[in-house]
Amino acid sequence: MRRSFLRPAIALAFITTAALALACSDATGPDGPKHPIVGVYDITTSLQTFEYTSGTSAPYTYSTVPAGPATLSGTLTINDTVVTKAGMVELPSYQAAMQETPCAGTNPPCTSAGTARSADYTNAYTPLRVSGDTMGVSGGLGSPYETLVFKSGTYAGDSIVGTLDWNAKLGPAHEIYHGTYVARRHR
pLDDT digits (tens, 9 = 90+) for 139-162: 677 766 678 888 888 888 889 998
Give, in degrees to the nearest 5, the angle at Cα 37 between 36 and 41: 130
The answer to whether position 14 is within a domain reads no
Residue 97: is it exposed, middle or buried by C-beta count within 10 angstroms (0-12/13-18/19+)? Answer: middle
Which pLDDT band, with edges at 50, 70 and 90, does 13 fall under?
A: very low
Distance CA(72)–CA(141), nearest Å, equals 14
Give, in degrees to the nearest 5, the angle at Cα 122 between 121 and 123: 105
The answer to whether position 2 is within a domain reads no
Distance CA(90)–CA(28), nearest Å, equals 12
The answer to whether position 154 is within a domain reads yes
Cβ distance 186 to 39 under 8 Å? Answer: yes
Return the CATH number at 56: 2.40.128.120
Number of domains into which the chain is organized? 1
In the chain, alpha helices (H): 6-24
What confidence score (pLDDT) does residue 35 get? Answer: 80
User: Using one digit for the tens of pLDDT, what is the confidence trace for 36-72?
Assistant: 888 999 999 999 998 887 666 667 778 888 988 899 9
The answer to whether position 21 is within a domain reads no
The answer to whether position 89 is within a domain reads yes
The answer to whether position 153 is within a domain reads yes
pTM: predicted TM-score of the whole model, two decimal places? 0.73
What confidence score (pLDDT) does residue 14 get? Answer: 40
What confidence score (pLDDT) does residue 75 get? Answer: 95
| DSSP assignment letter at 30 | T
Residues 54-75 as b/e (b if ≥16 CB within 10 A, e otherwise) read eeeeeeeeeeeeebbbbbbebe
Expressed as residue numbers, the domain containing 119 is 32-185
User: Using one digit for the tens of pLDDT, what is the confidence trace for 102-139?
Assistant: 888 666 678 888 889 888 888 677 778 777 544 556 66
Average pLDDT over residues 74-79: 91
Closest CA to 130 of 97, 91, 160, 95: 91
What confidence score (pLDDT) does residue 27 get? Answer: 40
The answer to whether position 6 is within a domain reads no
Residues 20, 22, 25, 31: what is their CA dihedral angle, to the nearest 10 degrees? -10
The answer to whether position 53 is within a domain reads yes
